[in-house]
Chains A and B, each alone.
Chain A
């Protein structure tokens, strides 16, 4: 065995291996955005190493510049043809570019408002920025591959950074609790996902979704069973990451305990990554008729009920929450349900329903969620942070601008007409009707009405005058936070005004 590689005859293992595995084709532009984000993280870490005794402004500057260039390299590839390189590990298509662009945007917005908040909380570690950037690169890897191995690695890079970031506020028990809960349950979900991937690999001998699809053979009972188990276990794992009911129990605790800027990134970036992976997995089954039919009969009913449960439970439980971050956590669960409806509509009828709805909803959801969390982060002061509704009291006196933006975010989360939230929901509603998912459309509409109550509660809390005993000092409003609020609030209207050109640009002609 050991000498096989040194053999020179034609049957040597070395020769066979060399023939079977030549160096892969490389397409540098398709990995450039991810490489840029990772390198930006490294640069940020090096800056932190070089200047540990100075403020984080240089790190933030480098991070934002790096993200800008990553976004630039993504948009410059919009016209390029679809391409797989690195032995099928990296895929460049419109979907991957768009999702990566969303992740880059979300990361930029999070970093923009982070420093003021971290200083107010007295945890301004320079390591926060590299970890957020690497986490974002994980989400980008998930979006830019059809290979299950890469999807898994992407999830791990995304989550392991987030486990650390969630526990970053070490003096708070809640933050530690949040990190530990997230880690234990997340590791469990990763195990499920990996077990599912193993089943799929065992059945087909490949990790690539296209190869798995073309290997589908419904007549072989063993094969079919393994694929169904694999699919089911993978859906468990992804449903956990995307926080679908009944895999959502971690969400409110983790969202509440983690530092607010981390929560914002978790709610937007991590969800985008999970949804992208889910979309890849589900849409792989649509183009094969046999597989599609099997999928329809086995997994469609399950996902259908998961969508209904996710929307309903998320909204109902949010009604009774006393904590703004928990409320927003449950709201993010409900929104995950809406997005799932959009994905299911596509899977159910891929000819009529494209990816436009999902992408638009993810975009508008990230803008309003990050904005809302950014405003909530204003409650932090001198290392303490109150996130109950009472803690928002009097905010309109301290910072009318933030409250103005909060109203925009709340209106968009509810889905009041001129905002992007309304159009997002309308598009999902239409898609659900177009692909014969009438019940889901109705549940979505009913839930939107239900959600008005608690969203208005958030806005109302900001307008109540603070009681004498609890009068906080002036709000630590800062430039970064103001910029984030402005960008998010402006974006919510901008994506509506520029709807047609934007969608043309993001997902191509509809």
Chain B
């Protein structure tokens, strides 16, 4: 516990300084508000809509993947603290264990990249071949398709 006193002091200092900055400017600062001042600043333009907008699910997916990798790192960290000074038997054994772990991690990573999970556009639709149907891109263009394209214009 004694080793962490410094960190506790640091956290305490940070809290005091941040708290002081926010609260003192709130208490001491002049308050001269008009409705126009209170409105959100949007490059001088009239604000549009609500500040609380719905987020796309992509943000959530990225955050979720981040958490999964975060948890993986926590395990590795406890290993690194002990690995350097440990005996050889432990070093070889745990190295093998961590390698297995890392391989699974890398496969997960490769999958994430392969299915474009962190890309921002939607490119992961199911290929028709999975359904046992011909690939529309491989089919010859018919007169009807051209007609449809023309119709769209």
Binding site for B on A (CB under 8 A): 1-2, 5-6, 14, 18, 22-23, 42, 45-46, 49, 52-56, 119, 122-126
Contact = CB atoms under 8 A, between A and B. Distances in A.
Contacts of A119: 130-132
A373 B107 CA distance: 33
Contact of A18 (B81, B87, B115): B87
Contacts of A49: 110-111, 114-115
Contacts of B104: 42
Given A23-B90, A55-B129, A119-B132, 4 more contacts: A1-B2, A5-B81, A6-B85, A23-B93
B58 interface: no
Contact of A52 (B115, B131, B132): B115
Nearest to B89: A23
Contacts of B90: 18, 22-23
Contact of A22 (B3, B89, B126, B130): B89
B86 interface: yes
A124 B126 contact: yes
Given A23-B90, A124-B126, A55 B85 contact: no
Interface string B122-140: 0000110111100100000
A383 to B, nearest CB: 10
A122 B131 CA distance: 7
Contacts of A45: 107, 111
Contacts of B76: none
A114 to B, nearest CB: 13
Interface in B66-94: 81-82, 85-87, 89-90, 93-94
Interface residues of B, number: 24
A125 B126 contact: yes
A91 B26 CA distance: 64
Contacts of A1: 2-3
A56 B130 contact: yes
Contact of B127 (A6, A14, A52, A123): A52
A54 B90 CA distance: 45
Contact of B85 (A5, A52, A126): A5
A124 B131 contact: yes
A32 B104 CA distance: 17
22 contacts: A2-B3, A5-B81, A5-B82, A14-B82, A14-B85, A18-B90, A23-B90, A23-B94, A45-B111, A49-B115, A52-B127, A54-B127, A54-B129, A119-B131, A119-B132, A122-B131, A123-B126, A124-B126, A124-B130, A124-B131, A125-B126, A125-B130
A53 B85 contact: no
Contacts of B94: 23
Closest 4 CB pairs of A and B: A23-B93, A124-B130, A53-B127, A49-B114
A192 B3 CA distance: 36
Contacts of A18: 86-87, 90
Contacts of B115: 49, 52
B50 to A, nearest CB: 27
Contact of B130 (A2, A6, A23, A55): A55
B86 A14 contact: yes
Nearest to A12: B85
B6 to A, nearest CB: 12
A56 B115 CA distance: 16
Contacts of B131: 119, 122, 124
Contacts of B132: 55, 119
Nearest to B124: A52
Interface string B1-34: 0110000000000000000000000000000000
Contacts of B129: 53-55
A55 B132 CA distance: 7
A22 B90 CA distance: 7
A1 B104 CA distance: 33
Nearest to A50: B114
A46 B104 CA distance: 12
Contact of B107 (A6, A14, A46, A124): A46
Contacts of A125: 126, 130
A56 B130 CA distance: 6
Interface string B83-120: 00111011001100000000010010011001100000
B135 A53 contact: yes
B107 A42 contact: yes
Interface in B49-64: none
A45 B111 CA distance: 8
B130 A126 contact: yes
Contacts of A52: 114-115, 127
Contacts of A122: 126, 131
A323 B77 CA distance: 52
Contacts of A6: 85
